[in-house]
Amino acid sequence: MRNETPITREMLAHYLELNRKKKEVESEIEQLKTAFNEYFDQSVGKNTKGEMVMREYKLQRQIRKTEKFQQEKTVQKLEELNLTELIQKRPDEGKIKSAIDLGLIKEEDLQDCRTVSSSQAIYVKLLDAK
């Protein structure tokens, strides 16, 4: 007895076609995002949020920053400061921030241990016509 599968040849062909179209659309979207980011880089500056309204459309760029402690440098610094209770297998960022808040460690002591990265996000919204 042969097992009948609910998958058809047409479904597979349709999937491949949709996947090809998806890649084309994603490529076009990336080109538009690049153009929008270049516009904001020139009009408001790199890594700066911006906004423009064109009739019923609003274009925004938001900047997200993430900050992390560099593992090896931070562990070394905490050991030098005899604060090994703040170390797990990697720096415990929650405990480090608490120690800074409590004044057990100065933020400047770990300044060269931090990395800050930024990412850009583009949003297009359809505004209500008035």
Percent of the chain with pLDDT over 70: 96
DSSP letter for 104, please: S
pLDDT of residue 130: 60
The Cα–Cα gap between 47 and 127 comes to 25
Percent of the chain with pLDDT over 90: 46
Local structure of residue 94 (DSSP, 8 states): H
What is the phi/psi pair of residue 86, to 5°? -90, 0
- pLDDT, one tens digit per residue, over 84-108 is 888 876 788 889 989 999 999 998 8
- 39 Cβ contact partners less than 8 Å away, ≥ 6 residues apart: 52
Domains of the chain, residue spans: 9-126
Predicted local distance difference test score (pLDDT) of residue 36: 96
CB atoms within 10 A of CB 79: 12
pTM here is 0.56
pLDDT in tens, 17-47: 998 999 999 999 999 999 999 999 999 999 9
- Residue 125, pLDDT > 90, answer no
Return the pLDDT at 35. 97
pLDDT at residue 32, rounded to an integer: 97
Nearest residue to 100 via CA among 86, 115, 112: 86
